[in-house]
Structure 1
Amino acid sequence: MQLPARPDLAQLKKQAKDLLASARSGQPAALARFRVLPAFARHTDAQLAALAFALHDAQSVIAREHGFASWTALRERVEELTLEFAQAAAQFTRDSVERRLGRAERILTLFPDLVARDFHAALAFGDVATVARGLAARPALATQRGGPLGWEPLLYVAHSRWAEKHAAGLTATAKLLLEHGADANTSYLHAGDPHSPLSALWAASCQARNYPLAQLLLEHGARPDDGESVYHAAEHGDVEMLGLLAAHGAQADGGAGAAKWTNTPLYFILGHYAGLAFDAKVRRGARWLLEHGANPNRVCYPEKSGETPLHAAARHWDGAMIELLLAHGADLQARRRDGRTALALALLHGRTSAAEALRAAGADEQLSPAEQFLAACMRGDSAEARRLRDPAVIRAHPNLLAEASPHAAAAMLDVGFDVAATGGMGETALHWACFTGNLAKAKLLIAHGAPLDLRDRQYQSLPLGWCHFAFAHQPAPDGDYLGVARALLAAGATPPSAEELERWEGGEEILALIADFTRSPASAPPPPPGLK
């Protein structure tokens, strides 16, 4: 079945709802249509009649009948086919700078002359001829903010995700803009924050990863120590880009950026936890920074924590990272403003291998009784934690459960830590277990009564929403996101509404899983052991 030239999304939604209603009323013809879905292809009439189909199922049927793998793909295609030219140009430009090149390409097939007719689309595509015509007619366009994001033209070029295919065109376009007065240091404000300008160099070097364009900007005076580029190139482990920035004067300790943020690139990237999506990249970036002069003893946030990079590594990383820092001169006896050493922090955050590496290097630390209690909790020593139990310490550290391992979390729950305690975003430990795909911890928290349907304050998202987002966009290497989603649903988590699900991008496997649980319990996948 083909879509009409001007499809109506509202009508397709109505078709899905009508199909669902007919299936639920037992109409054989409606039920038979669900066999287009692989999960039901071999179901008998009786088996189909026994299922309590979800709206997601009906929408998937409509999508399959029109030749699309998912409702999301169908919806996006309908949106593309119903765009007017101005809308299409704006959407193409946004997609080109926001990592959605598939949709940008589909829009180009619908409007083949789009880039030739729209100045901002040409910027994002790297069509130097169109940009040249625009500048010839109106030279002021080179520095005039505009387009769908209200940026100066150079920022659309720098952010363009067409770099792999059109690097030469994008670089030529940027050169033309610079020749017409564009500022290589132009920027825009992150979330409107006047203290957080994001530069064209950062966009080219850390977002688009466009090396020729980054070099062009640097040659035209872009500041390499802009407080972002070295930080995020190191975060990405992009040693080639770090080398390019350094060749134009960037400092491994961040230069002026470090003075602005009162931290360094090394300290910043060590704020990531080991074992997450950035793990290998951060290790590569840390090694480059240290080999190029980063100071492992630079005190960061002197008015707050007064930590060095070694302190950050002790809180978040492992013995290998500690050994790397020590090999480059990190002072294992340095103390934070509160007097704690790296060893104390490693013990208090359950970083066993980090603590072992520090002790092997000669570190020694006497913990207070309260600290001994926390250390016992974080290493999962239940007997010692019960012996040293201190209710005042538990009340003073309500959010520590979020960073504990499953073994440590079990000990902490045993001595009275609150499974429903929330962090700065209104999130619980269960939200973070979902975000990291930590099935063992999620099951433990659920078994101890963690709230399944609490929405955080910042994103207004359920734990299941955190699970889906990370699975679709930033999965931890060893995360079991489908297992976590099953555990949540099996324990009674409320599935998101159909309207909310429509806003979720990607992660079709979790969407299908939610649809499974919306049907009759008999048809849902079995829950994980221990959650029956």
Structure 2
Amino acid sequence: MTTSPLPERPNLEQLKHQAKELLRSAREKDPVALVRFRALPALAARSAADLATLRLALHDAQSVLAREHGFPSWNALRERVEELTLQFDQAVTQFVRGSVEHRLTRAERARTLFPDLVAKDFHAALVFGEATVVARHLAADPGLATRPGGPLKWAPLLYVAHSRWVDKNSAGLIATARLLLSQGADVNTGYPWEGDPQQKLSALWAAACHARHYALAQLLLESGAQPDDGESGYHAAENGDVAMLDLLAAHGAHADGGDGARSWGNTPLFFILGHFAGLSHDAPVRRGVAWLLAHGADANRVCYPEQAAETPVHAAARHWDVPMLELLFQHGAHLRTRRADGRTPFALASLHGNIAVADWLRAHDGADELSGTERFLAAGMRGDRAKVAMMLRAEPKLRALFDRPGTKKLARELAGRRDTTALETMLDAGFDPAGTDAMGATPLHWAAFSGNLAAARILLAHGAPADVRDSTYHATPLGWTDYAEVNRPQPDGDYAGVAHALIAAGSPLPTEEEFERWGSDPIKTLVADALRERKT
């Protein structure tokens, strides 16, 4: 196949239009258009008649154009066009966003295309820590030190605090922050998370937990940053960043969150116990819990007092293990405290199928106070088929429990476990594989999210629908698989395997617009093959 070089000033919109025209012609069975699709390795050996039967999609046509111009993919072509056509202001935005969003390769590419970018632009200089350039701009306009602006409409100090160039230019970032502070920048500046003014992300949080820039966090604290800002202590503990926690404590941060805890209604200890044992954040959370308890965190602090009224022990009983409960107990945790609904840690461990913790709690305080309905659900969550069957024979009305919202919440845990005994037990007893929780998610969504191929296969075999879109993100289980594989992968998750099973079960495939936003290359490859193979 011969390739045609790009023009000196290519137009991406024109190339997109050409791809759409190629796709339209191919769908109209134009033989000249169809044969061009042999540029794709997967279609190279297909006959003209065979090509005419395929359900070609826009990304196929885009890939054809890319290969015809000598590029391995549409993304590679798009990046080259961007290099040839990128304007200075666009490069600034790309550089700044890439620098704060942990996309340094993209940021570096913008700087390579415009080597004078940092020297010319105030916000690019901020995020790179080019203090001399920042000083020059401030000399011309002192008000820049406090004026929100730039691609993200932030106060200047926030760009410095979020910068991911810590390893390359820590000293420059510190000098830049010091300069801004000397010119009146508010050390406690922040911005509302997701537009909520009650949830403010501070410059300290950005330095301490986002960029993990210890020296800059120290400067901010020494300059008067509020250590109990409702975020920094929480997320430093979540990260298991003991050095950062020590720094925060040295400047007055409280292990229970101080004023920040009052605004959230919980504490750092309770917050980080919301993670699950054995998953990707396990080790950092254990370090954070140990530090918090050693520095005075209250294992009996009641969180959300007007709602669930839970303590950290309740949170740990649901999803953690015996070593975590032992650690809390060693620091004075009460094991019999009841939540607002009357349930103890033992009841929660039992209802969540946390067998080892339930057994440990029973051995330590003799707790065994489950009601009849709770015993039924606990047996199911243990995977005790015989007991579940016996209880159903004696009281068939117990099946009505599966329709309760509280029971539907268990889908997340059942579908996430690698041991599928409890899932099969509950499904056989009447647990609805199509039931949705408060997010509108089905058990299959949660199996997809955790990359649990065994659970996905069991759910599909029990009639779980693959076409349901949740009510929160409006995505199918296949969409959740793609998101989790890129953003929240579990160490042993088989996301490609789950995607293959969902596609084989007839899962709806993404629209062209959705497909463009997906990020997992293995899953996109599976979807692309499926789109070609499914007949119109």
* Same fold at TM > 0.5: yes
Equivalent position SS for 1:237: coil
* Per-residue deviation, residues 473-512 of structure 1 (Å, max 9, x unmatched): 22011111001100110000011012211122x2111100
Which string of whole-angstrom CA distances, capped at 9 and with x for unpartnered residues, describes residues 260-311 of structure 1? 2121111101111223332222122222222222221211112211111111
Partner of residue 411 from structure 1, selected from 422, 425, 434: 425
1:179-217 deviations in Å (ceiling 9; x for gaps): 000111111111111210110000111111111111110
Structure 2: distance between partners of 1:501 and 1:197: 33
| 2:243 corresponds to 1:240 | yes
Match of 1:529 in 2: none
Write the distance in 2 (CA, Å) between the matches of 1:367 and 1:455: 35
Amino acid at match of 1:176: L
2: CA distance, partners of 1:158 / 1:450: 46
Whether 1:273 aligns to 2:276 is yes
Superposition deviation, residue 70 in structure 1: 3.4
Equivalent position amino acid for 2:528 in 1: A
In the TM superposition, 1:152-167 aligns within 5 A as 152-167=155-170
Instruction: Give 1:432's aligned residue.
Output: 446
Is the 1:436–1:475 contact (alpha carbons within 8 Å) kept by the matching residues of 2?
A: yes
Quote the Cα distance in structure 1 between the aligned partners of 2:489 and 2:266: 27
Q: Which amino acid aligns with 2:524?
A: L
What is residue 492 of structure 1 aligned with on the other side? 506
Q: How far apart, CA to CA, are the structure 2 residues paired with 1:34 and 1:234?
A: 54
The structure-2 alpha-carbon separation of the partners of 1:493 and 1:239, relative to structure 1 and needing over 3 Å to count, comes to same
For 1:9 and 1:455, the matched residues in 2 are separated by 32
Which amino acid in structure 2 is aligned with residue 419 of structure 1?
P
Rounded Cα–Cα distance in structure 2 between residues aligned with 1:68 and 1:453:
35
CA contact (8 A) 1:310 1:322 kept: yes
Contact 1:344 1:367 in 2 (8 A): yes
Query: Structure 2 matches for 1:372-387, cutoff 5 A?
Result: 372-387=375-390
In the superposition, relative to structure 1, how do residues 285 and 31 fare at CA in structure 2: closer, same or farther (>3 Å)? farther
Q: Secondary structure, in 3 states, of the residue corresponding to 1:196? A: strand
Amino acid at match of 2:411: L
- 1:507 — aligned with what? 520
Structure 1 equivalent of residue 496 of structure 2:
482
**Structure 1: distance between partners of 2:113 and 2:143:** 31
Q: Which shows bigger deviation, 51-60 or 121-130?
A: 51-60
CA contact (8 A) 1:323 1:357 kept: no
Instruction: Point out where structure 2 has 5 or more consecutive residues left out of the alignment.
Output: 393-397
Partner of 1:473: 487
Alpha carbons of structure 1 residues 81 and 342: separation in structure 2 relative to 1, 3 Å: farther
Give the Å deviation of 1:409.
2.1
* 1:27 Cα deviation after fit: 5.0
Aligned match of 2:530: 517
Q: How far does residue 427 in structure 1 lie from its aligned partner after superposition? A: 1.8
Determine the structure 1 residue equivalent to 2:368: 365
Tell me which moved more, 57-66 or 488-497: 57-66
> Equivalents in 1 of 2:335, 2:138: separation in Å?
58
The answer (yes or no) to whether the contact 1:178–1:184 under 8 Å persists in 2 is yes
| Contact 1:234/1:269, CA 8 A, preserved across alignment | yes
Cα pair 1:467 1:484 within 8 Å, conserved: yes
* Counterpart pick for 1:262 among 258, 261, 265: 265
Moved more, 270-279 or 205-214: 270-279
**Cα 1:326/1:256, change in 2 over 3 Å:** same
Counterpart of 2:148, as a letter, is: R
Q: 1:255 offset after TM fit, Å?
A: 1.5
Q: Which residue of 1 aligns with 2:227?
A: 224
Question: What do the CA deviations read for 1:8-32 (whole angstroms, capped 9, x no partner)?
Answer: 2233334444555677758589657
CA 1:408–1:245 in 2, change beyond 3 Å: closer, same or farther?
Answer: same
Matches within 5 A, 1:77-476: 77-79=80-82, 81-389=84-392, 390-396=398-404, 397-404=407-414, 405=417, 406-476=420-490
Contact 1:426 1:457 in 2 (8 A): yes
Greater shift, 91-100 or 127-136, is seen at: 91-100
1:75 is aligned to 2:65: no
One-letter identity of the residue aligned with 1:376: A
Residue 142 of structure 1, CA deviation: 0.7
8 Å CA contact 1:468–1:481 kept in 2: the answer is yes
Cα distance in 2 for partners of 1:51, 1:161 equals 49
Determine the C-alpha separation between the residues in 1 that align with 2:509 and 2:252.
Answer: 52
Mapped contact 1:125–1:170 kept (Cα < 8 A): yes
- Name which of structure 1's ranges 113-122 and 391-400 shifts more when overlaid on structure 2: 391-400
Asked if 2 retains the 8 angstrom alpha-carbon contact of 1:56 and 1:512, the reply is: no
SS of alignment partner, residue 194 of structure 1: strand
CA distance 1:35–1:490, shift in 2 (3 Å)? same
Distance 1:286 1:302 in 2: 21
Gap change, CA 1:172 and 1:66, over 3 Å in 2: farther
Change (3 A) 1:73 1:335: farther
Counterparts of 1:27 and 1:77, CA distance in 2: 30
Gap change, CA 1:119 and 1:314, over 3 Å in 2:
same
User: Contact 1:9/1:78 (CA < 8 Å) preserved in 2?
Assistant: yes
Distance verdict in 2 for CA 1:182–1:500, change over 3 Å = same
Contact 1:34–1:58 (CA under 8 A) maintained in structure 2: no
Separation in structure 2 between the aligned mates of residue 13 and residue 113 of structure 1, nearest angstrom? 31
Deviations 1:298-339 (A, max 9, x none): 111122111111110111112232222223332222222222
Residues 73, 35 of structure 1: CA spacing in aligned structure 2 closer, same or farther, 3 A cutoff?
closer
The amino acid of 1:299's aligned partner reads V
Match of 1:526 in 2: none
The answer to whether the 8 A contact 1:401-1:412 is kept is: no
In the TM superposition, residue 74 of structure 1 has moved relative to its aligned partner by 3.2
Q: Secondary structure at the match of 2:191?
A: strand
Q: Which residue of 2 aligns with 1:527?
A: none
Q: What residue in structure 2 maps to residue 528 of structure 1?
A: none
Once residues 68 and 284 of structure 2 are traced to their aligned partners in structure 1, the CA distance between those partners, rounded to angstroms, is: 43
Using the size of structure 1 for normalisation, the TM-score is: 0.91
Aligned length: 519
Partner of 2:395: none
Deviates more, 1:127-136 or 1:274-283: 274-283
Percent of residue pairs bearing the same amino acid type: 61
Over residues 145-195 of structure 1, what are the superposed CA-to-partner deviations in whole Å (9 max), with x where a residue is unaligned? 111221110011111112221211111111100000011111111111121
Distance 1:393 1:70, change over 3 A: same
Seen in structure 2, the aligned counterparts of structure 1 residues 289 and 77 have a Cα distance that, compared at 3 Å, is farther
Matched to 1:485, the amino acid is: A
In the superposition, the TM-score normalised over structure 2's length comes to: 0.90
